[in-house]
Amino acid sequence: MQKEDWYYVDEHEDEDFSVQEYDITATPNDFNVRTIYDFIESGLVKIPGFQRNYVWDIKRASKLIESLIIGLPIPQIFLYEESRNSFLVIDGQQRLMSIYYFKKQRFPKEEKRPAIRKIFEEHGKIPDEFLHNDEYFQNFNLHLASPLPNSPNKFNKLNYSTLGDYQATFDLRTIRNVVIRQNSPTEEADTSIYEIFNRLNSGGVNLTPQEIRVSMYHSKFYQMIDRVNLRPAWRKLLGLTEPDLNAKDLEIILRAFSMLVFSDEYKPSMTKFLNLCSRKFKSFNDEAIAYLESLFDSFLVACQNLDQRAFRGKQNTRFNISTFEGVFAATCMPFFEAKQLVDLKIDPAKLDQLKIDVSFSEATQKNTASSENVKLRRTKAAEILFS
């Protein structure tokens, strides 16, 4: 399947999403390599390893290290100042991780990078028991081609500890870091960073809105939706064995929880609403997150009589996010308000009846993000499924 083939997309869903003017401060700082490494190691600079896997091979990473050793300039790095002494990498993840791994003298094995991403996400760095595990890492010795025939590159096969006098040279090389802080609007203190993420991506590969959210709003709540996204019962409803590479399945779960927990606050656009909810979910405590996880699991039990076509449109084509969102909210809302778990089963026949209801069907196909249609889907689902 193509990346958008498995789910239905309403092209007009976020057509009213407008970009506002910002007052931001962009401050250039020339940090040396040793300082940057210390920032990463201490957690002051957060590498969004959970955003994208590290994708460079050892030859490309070696060329970056060589450039720093011999004094060639490298592209600047953009950091967002979340709070005092807390910075999020906007652009430059691959460069920073290459420096980090070289200083650690270990290079991640390609097949283990998704697992390493999870480890980095959990600990904020790579613990030594993983770093020195040959199942995950190999030694980081520079792989550099010779500049001329019969003229070997003197840095080839060296590592950080064998650089000799060049070790200090490498550590003291400076890299331009542009630190961005949003001054206004203050009521939405991270809206500019979303736009910067959206417009400034390394390698020219645009991130999806949900990939940006995962980087901006990483939290225990996001760890939870990452877990439930792997539930076999959920994968069955989606009709997908593996997680979506662009995190659309995560966005569906986020949207379902957002419409359940913050339904009274909804107004278009959907993108802006999900950003707002992601920010609010960051403040949820362990107990609240554990309850939402259990609630989602109880909803999956409620769906156990449904097959993988349950939330697909006509002719069993694509997963319809609006249909799922309406059914999830209608099913869970009474139990959520009572702080209980779902204790019923969704009748497949009634779900089929809901899907052919004219008003519900129209609300899942056109102007899906309008406040009226969001409310209609939830109320119509409650009426037909549980009346």
Picking from 149, 184, 219, the residue at the C-terminal end of a domain is: 184
Q: Tell me: do 148 and 223 sit in the same domain.
A: no
Residue 106, CA atoms < 13 Å, CB-side half-sphere:
17
Q: How many domains does the chain have?
A: 2
Supply the range of the domain harboring residue 129.
23-184
Nearest CA-CA partner of 303 in 248, 250, 347: 347
Q: Average pLDDT for residues 229-244, to the nearest whole number? A: 93
Q: What does the buried/exposed string (b/e) look like for 193-210 if buried means 16 or more CB atoms within 10 Å of the residue's CB?
A: bbebbeeebbeeeebbbb
Q: Average pLDDT for residues 313-320, to the nearest whole number? A: 78
> Cα(130)–Cα(179) distance, rounded to whole angstroms?
31
Residue 3, pLDDT > 80, answer: no
Whole-model pTM over 0.85:
no
Residue 42, pLDDT > 70, answer: yes
Q: Tell me: do 150 and 56 sit in the same domain.
A: yes
pLDDT of residue 316: 61
Summarised one tens digit per residue, pLDDT across range 107-156 is 999 888 878 877 877 777 789 999 999 999 999 999 998 877 778 899 99
% of the chain at pLDDT higher than 90 = 62
Q: Tell me: do 261 and 298 sit in the same domain.
A: yes
| Confidence grade of residue 327 (pLDDT, cut at 50, 70, 90) | very high
> Cα(87)–Cα(329) distance, rounded to whole angstroms?
36
Token code pair at residue 289: 């997150």
Q: Tell me: do 164 and 287 sit in the same domain.
A: no
Q: In this structure, is residue 40 part of a structural domain? A: yes
Q: Tell me: do 133 and 281 sit in the same domain.
A: no
Q: Tell me: do 177 and 211 sit in the same domain.
A: no
